[in-house]
Structure 1
Amino acid sequence: MSFVLILVFLLFPPTKKARRDHLPWYDIALSGLSIPSTIYLFVNYEEIVTRGGLPITVDIIMGTLLVVLVFEAGRRVTGIALPILALLFVAYAMFGRDLPGIFRHRGYDWPQLAEQFYMTTEGIFSTAIGVSSTYIILFIIFGAFLAKSGMGQLFNDLAMALTGRSRGGPAKVSVIASGFLGSINGSAIANTVTTGNFTIPLMKKIGYSRVFAGAVESSASVGGQILPPIMGAAAFIMAETLGIPYTDIVLIAILPAVLFYLGILVQVHIRATKDNLSGIPRSELPKLTDVLKERGHLLLPIFFLLYMLFFSGTTILFSAACTIIVTIFISAFRKSTRMSFRDLIDALESGARITISVAIACATVGIIVGVSGITGFGLNLANAIVAIGGESLFLTLLFTMVACIVLGMGMPSIPAYIITATMAAPALVQLGIEPIVAHLFVFYFGIFANITPPVALAAFAAAGLSGAGPMRTGFNALKLALAGFVVPFMFVYNEALLLIDTTLMSGILVIISAILGVLMLGIAAERYFLYKLNLLFSGLMAVGGILFLYPGVMTDVIALAILLFIFTVQFIKKKRHSTAEITTAS
C-alpha cells in the first residue's frame, strides 16, 4: 500500500490540466506522507496486537492520514465516482443514527471508524488489497508482457482470418478480439478504446450504423470480464472471498460466458443478414496460415498457463510467475514478437501502472466494506431486498439485479464485484442459493452497469469512437447483451447451466438447449428469422428462448414446438414471397 501510494502521487497529476513537465512540491510531500502511516503498522505490529486492537491517539492520527491519502489517490486514479461513494458511506456511518427504518444504526465517531479502516482486515487492508498484491499483480504483468509481444495483433488477425469474410465480418472480429483481450486486461473501458479504434471504423465501412458499431464493441468488451480463465482478475478475489479453488470458478463460469458471446454473435449475424451486409473481401484479409506462422506461438503461454493451473498441482502464484518467464522466452521465437530489454522494462512499467489502478480501487472499496461491516449496512440491504421480494425468488432476483447495476455504476470490474458481493449477494444466500451462484449473479450485473444507461461508461467510450449518441449506444448494447441478462436468472433457478453436479449426458443436453435458447433470444431481439417477425412471433421466440435456457424436458419440448412452428410459418412466407418476386419479374 505504501509503494502504491508513493507511485500514485509521483505519476498521477492532481488534475487533467496540471503540468506534467515537473513534479510539484505538494506531490512530493504527499508521496512522503504515504510512508509513515503504513510503516507504522509494520514497525508497531506486536504492540498493536498486545493492546488487543484498542487504538491510541497515534493510531487514530496514522489511520486518518492513510484514509485521506487513499481518498485523494482514488480521486486521481479511478475518477471521482468511487471516492464520492466511499465518502457517502463514511457519512452514513457517522450520522446513520438519525436515519429512519432498518438502515438506522447507533452511530460511530471518527476514532471508531479510523480504527475499522486502519487496524482491521475489514477496511483498507482487506482481502481485496491482499489479492491485488499477490495474484492480480502477477496476472496483470503477464497480460502486459503478452500485449508487448503482440498478442493484441494476434487476436485481431486471428479473428479477421476466421470471420472477416462472413456476413458482418468486422462485427464478429470485434466480438472475438474484445472477448479475449477483455479477459486478460480486466478493464472494459480500456478494452473498448483499444480494440474499438480498429473494429468500429471497419464495422461502419461495411454498412453497420454508428450506434450498432459502438454497441457491439462496448458489449463485447464488457463481456471479457466474465470470460475465463482470467475474468478480468475478479475470479481471484471471488475465489479468496468464497474460499474455493480458483479452477472451480473458472469451470463454473465457462458456459454462461460462452452463451453471452454467442448471443452477441447471433444478433450481429442476423443484423447483417437483415441489412444485406457483406464481409471484408478476401484480398484485404490476412491468411490464417500466415497469422499462425508469424504470431501463433504467442498462444503457447496461454496453453501453458492453463496446464499449470489445472493439471500441474502447483499454486496459482507459481503458475503465474512461470508463465511470465515462458512468455518472454516464447516471444523470442520470431523477430516480429521478440522483446528487447527496453520492451521488457516497458512491460513491467505498464503492469505496474495498471496494478496501481487496481490496488487503489481495492483500497477505496475497503472503506466501503469497512462501513458495511461495522454498521451492518450490507446485511440490512440484503434483508430489505428479501423483504421487498417477499416469498418470490424472481422478485428478489429482480431487485438484486437493480441494486447491483446501481452499485456498479461508474465502477471498474473489481470494485464493482467487491461492492455487490458485500451488499447484494447476502440477499440471495439468505434464500438458500449457493454462495458461488449468488456471487456470479451479482458479479454479472455489477459488470453490466458499464453498458446500462444512464452511467454506461463503456458504451460512452465506444460512442466517442463511433460518433453516435451515447445513450442510444448504451441501449443498443443492452439489447446485444440480452443473453447476459437472462442467463444469470436461469442459472439461479437451475444450477445445471453452471454444469454443477451434472453427468456428461445431462451436461451435453443442457448445453444444446442453452445454445438453442440463446439463438431464439437473438432472433427475438432482432425480430428477424427467415423473414421479418411481427411482435407476436418475436414475443413467442423470446418465451421459447427462456424455456430452452431453463433446463427441463417439458420446457425444452414446448420451446422446440415454438421454434418449429415459427420456422414453418416463416419458411412458407418466404417461399411465397420468392415465388411472387419471380412471377413479377417474368
Structure 2
Amino acid sequence: LMEGCRRTVGWVMLLIAALFLFYSAFGDLLPSGFAIKSYSLQELIQFQIFSANGVFGSALGIAATTVFIFVLFGAFLEVTGAGKFFIDLAFSIAGKYRGGPAKAAVLASAGLGSISGSAIANTVTTGSITIPMMKKLGYKPEQAAGIEAAASTGGQIMPPIMGAGAFVMAQFTGVPYSEIMLASIAPAILYFFCTLLYVHLMACKLNLQAVSRTEAVISVMKDGAHHLIPLALITTLLMMAYSPLLVGVAGCAAILVTAALRKHSRIGLKKFIEGMKNGALMALPISAACGAAGIIVGVVGQTGIGLQFTQFVMDFSGGYMLIALGLISLVALVLGMGLPVTAAYIVLAVMAVPMLSDFGLPLLTAHLIVFWLSQTSNVTPPIALAAFAGAGVANANPMKSSVEAFKLAGGLFIIPIMMAYTNLVNSEAGVVALTYSIIQTLTIIIAIAVAIEGYLLRSLTGIERLLAFFTIPLIMLNPFGVGFLGIVIMLGLILVQWKGRGQISQS
C-alpha cells in the first residue's frame, strides 16, 4: 500500500501515514502532553489489517465501490464527446456577454469538475480550450489561469456528484446522499456566483467586450442534447435515495446507450476500452490515498489523538469558533499541499469534526465545513496545485496565477464561515431562515468582491470601499443583533452607484 501510494500520490501521503504509525508504536517516548500507550507490531497489524477500523475501513470501501464507478462515469463522458458538449453549451450560453469566455469557463468547469473528481485534471482539460480564448479576449495569462483553477476547484463542491469526498461523507455521517446533495446546492451556487462576479468585475475594469460570434444554444443542443440524459438520470435516482453504487452503474450504462443513439457520439470497442483504462488510471490515486488515509483514521481511533487535537484547538481558540475555523483552515491547507482532496477531507474530518460539534454545530454542517476547507489547497499560495496546472497551460507566472485563483475562490473561505454562523445548510431551520442566510452570504460576497476590486457599476470612491469593508464584519458577527444593517448599507451603495452611473453616461 505504501509503495502504491508513493507511485500514485507522492511521498507526502506516505510520510504522513508513516508518522502516524510511528506515533502508535513509539508514542510512550513523547512528552506527557502527547504521550500514549505504545502498541506492539502485532497489535498494530491486528488493528490496521485484520479489523474494519484501519486500511480496510470505510474510506477504502467507498473508494473501491461508489467512487470508482463515478470516476468511470466521468471517463465514459469524455470518450463519448459529452465533455466537449458541456464546454460548447457553456460558451453558447455565456459567450455573448462581456468577458464571455471566462464566464463560459466557469460554467463548463462547474459541470465537468463535478464529474471528473479532480480539480487539477479539470483545469488542464477544460483549460486547454478556455484559457487561450480568455487570453485572446484580453485577460492577462495569470488571470486566465486563476479563473480556470478557481472554477475547476468549485466543481468538487457542485451537486450532483461533488467529486469523491461527498460519498465518504455519506458513509461517515450516516446521512443519505440525497440530503447532502440538497444541502450543498445553495452553497455551491453562491460559490460560482462569487467566481462569476470577480470575472465580470475584471472584464469591466479591463473594458473587455463580448465575443462577436458564438454558436447558438439551439445548434449545440441539437447536436448533443442526448448527453444530458445520463446526468438527468443519475440526479433523479440519487434524489430518489437509490444506492449511489447502483446509480453509478445505471449512469455508466446510460452513457453508452445514449451515445449509441447518434452516429457522431457512438463509440466502438477501442473507445470503450480506452474509457475503461482511463477510469482505472484516474481511480488509482484516489484508492491508494484512501487506503493510506485508513491508516491515519485507524491510528486516531486506536490512540485517541483526535481528542487531544480537539482539546488543543479548543484551548488555543479560547472558545471562539471563528478562531477555531481559522486554525482548521490552516491545518487543511497544510494537509492539502501533499494529499488529494478526498484524503485531506478524511484526515481532517476525523480530527476536526468532533471539535466543531463541541461548538454546537450539527454533524452534517461540521462535515460540510471541513469538506469545503479541504478544497482550499488547490488555489491557495504558496502551493496551489490547480492554479499551477492552469499556469502551465496559460504560460503564466505560477505564483501570480495562484494569487488570482485565491481571490477568485474566496467563496471557499467565506461560505464555510457562513455555514457555521447562519442556517445556510441547516434544512431544519425552515425556508425563511435559509433565504435570509443566502441573502447574508450573497451580500458579504458582493461586499468583499467590490471592496477588493474597487469597482461595482463604476469605480468606487475611498468612502464607498470603506463602507463595503465595514458591512462584512457587521453581517458576519451580527453585533447587538443589528447585522441586517449591513445588507441595508450594501443595497444603498448599489443604488448610489446606479445613480452615479446614470449621471456619468448623461455627461
Structure 2 length normalisation: TM-score?
Answer: 0.94
Which of 207, 211, 232 is matched with 1:276 structurally? 207
The residue number in structure 1 matching 2:227 is 298
Distance 1:167 1:207 in 2: 11
The residue number in structure 2 matching 1:400 is 328
The residue number in structure 1 matching 2:181 is 250
The residue number in structure 2 matching 1:533 is 460
Distance 2:315 2:479 in 1: 30
Shift of 1:506: 4.3
CA contact (8 A) 2:421 2:476 kept: no
The residue number in structure 2 matching 1:558 is 485
The residue number in structure 2 matching 1:461 is 389
The residue number in structure 2 matching 1:95 is 26
Matches within 5 A, 1:463-502: 463-494=391-422, 496-502=423-429
Deviations 1:274-298 (A, max 9, x none): 110112211xx22211110101110
Letter in 2 for 1:450: N
Give 3-state SS (helix, strand or coil) of 1:103's partner: coil
Distance 2:324 2:174 in 1: 25
Shift of 1:253: 1.0
The residue number in structure 2 matching 1:139 is 70
Letter in 1 for 2:430: T
293-302 vs 523-532, which moves further: 523-532
Give 3-state SS (helix, strand or coil) of 2:163's partner: helix
The residue number in structure 2 matching 1:523 is 450
319-328 vs 508-517, which moves further: 508-517
The residue number in structure 2 matching 1:59 is none
The residue number in structure 1 matching 2:371 is 443
Structure 1 pair 327–572 and aligned structure 2 pair: CA distance change class (3 A):
closer
Structure 1 length normalisation: TM-score?
Answer: 0.82
The residue number in structure 2 matching 1:12 is none
Structure 1 pair 502–430 and aligned structure 2 pair: CA distance change class (3 A):
closer
Distance 2:73 2:377 in 1: 27
> What RMSD, in angstroms, separates the aligned Cα atoms of the two structures?
2.2
CA contact (8 A) 1:410 1:456 kept: no
Letter in 1 for 2:362: E
Indicate yes or no: 2:356 matched with 1:428: yes
CA contact (8 A) 1:365 1:415 kept: yes
The residue number in structure 2 matching 1:511 is 438
Distance 2:118 2:244 in 1: 21
Matches within 5 A, 1:357-396: 357-396=285-324
Give 3-state SS (helix, strand or coil) of 2:428's partner: coil
Unaligned runs of 5+ in 1: 1-69
CA contact (8 A) 1:172 1:268 kept: yes
Shift of 1:545: 5.0
Distance 2:264 2:2 in 1: 43
Structure 1 pair 165–371 and aligned structure 2 pair: CA distance change class (3 A):
same
CA contact (8 A) 2:418 2:441 kept: no
Shift of 1:569: 4.4
* Aligned residue-pair number: 507
The residue number in structure 2 matching 1:204 is 135
- The percent identity for this pair of structures is 37
Distance 2:111 2:33 in 1: 44
130-139 vs 524-533, which moves further: 524-533
CA contact (8 A) 1:410 1:449 kept: no
Shift of 1:228: 1.0
Structure 1 pair 564–363 and aligned structure 2 pair: CA distance change class (3 A):
closer
The residue number in structure 2 matching 1:263 is 194
Distance 1:306 1:546 in 2: 37
Distance 2:365 2:479 in 1: 19
Letter in 1 for 2:224: R
The residue number in structure 1 matching 2:242 is 314
Distance 2:91 2:318 in 1: 50
CA contact (8 A) 1:263 1:521 kept: no
CA contact (8 A) 2:157 2:372 kept: yes
Letter in 2 for 1:519: I
Structure 1 pair 475–294 and aligned structure 2 pair: CA distance change class (3 A):
same
Structure 1 pair 428–506 and aligned structure 2 pair: CA distance change class (3 A):
closer
Matches within 5 A, 1:221-240: 221-240=152-171
Shift of 1:167: 0.9
Distance 1:552 1:174 in 2: 39
Which of 464, 471, 474 is matched with 1:544 structurally? 471
Distance 1:101 1:274 in 2: 57
Give 3-state SS (helix, strand or coil) of 1:177's partner: helix
Distance 1:510 1:77 in 2: 41
Distance 1:96 1:316 in 2: 39
Indicate yes or no: 2:339 matched with 1:411: yes
457-466 vs 99-108, which moves further: 99-108
Structure 1 pair 547–185 and aligned structure 2 pair: CA distance change class (3 A):
farther
Distance 1:91 1:310 in 2: 44
Shift of 1:108: 2.9
Structure with more contact order per residue of length (Cα contacts < 8 Å, sep ≥ 6): 2
Give 3-state SS (helix, strand or coil) of 2:19's partner: helix
Structure 1 pair 212–318 and aligned structure 2 pair: CA distance change class (3 A):
same
Indicate yes or no: 2:98 matched with 1:167: yes
Distance 1:564 1:434 in 2: 32
Structure 1 pair 427–131 and aligned structure 2 pair: CA distance change class (3 A):
same
Structure 1 pair 575–305 and aligned structure 2 pair: CA distance change class (3 A):
closer
Distance 2:484 2:102 in 1: 33
Distance 2:79 2:302 in 1: 44
Distance 2:3 2:324 in 1: 37
Letter in 2 for 1:309: L
Structure 1 pair 441–181 and aligned structure 2 pair: CA distance change class (3 A):
same
Distance 1:177 1:275 in 2: 23
256-265 vs 482-491, which moves further: 482-491
Unaligned runs of 5+ in 2: none
Which of 87, 100, 107 is matched with 2:38 structurally? 107
